[in-house]
Amino acid sequence: MKPVCPRCQSSAVYVMTDSTNCQLVYELLSPAALIGLGVSLCKSFKVHPVIGVVAGTAIATVIEIAKPHSALPLLINKQHCCDDCTHVFSTIN
Ligand SMILES: [Zn+2]
């Protein structure tokens, strides 16, 4: 059954979940990106950057542990994008 857009009922939808998409998410959640984010957050909140490094490393470690489990729902829940109204929705296959 081909999914239809829940917003505009258009059948012009395409699947977004592919390996490149997953890889992009993991790149955004890479330890280097998280530590960089932590440091910049600390700078904006005037906290010592070391706290940002520690927090970023801790979050990165948690994500590294969760990765094999989080990859599965990503594959089951297919993300679709509507070609007509760019509405993003997911279906469970
Ligand atoms: Zn739509």
8 CA → ligand 1 middle, Å? 4
Given the DSSP bridges, would you call strands 77-82 and 88-92 parallel, antiparallel or unpaired?
Answer: antiparallel
Instruction: Reduce the DSSP state of residue 87 to 3 states and report it.
Output: coil
- pLDDT score recorded for residue 72: 54
56 CB-near residues (< 8 Å, 6+ apart): 31, 34, 35, 36, 37, 38, 39
pLDDT exceeding 70 applies to what percent of the chain? Answer: 72
48 CA → ligand 1 middle, Å? 46
- pLDDT score recorded for residue 92: 65
Q: pTM of the prediction?
A: 0.39
93 CA → ligand 1 middle, Å? 20
Query: Are 83 and 7 in contact, with CB atoms under 8 Å apart?
Result: no
Residue of 26, 7, 33 whose CA lies nearest to 86: 7
15 CA → ligand 1 middle, Å? 13
pLDDT in tens, 66-87: 766 555 555 556 788 899 999 9
7 CA → ligand 1 middle, Å? 5
User: What residue ranges of the chain have pLDDT lower than 70?
Assistant: 1, 17-28, 67-77, 92-93
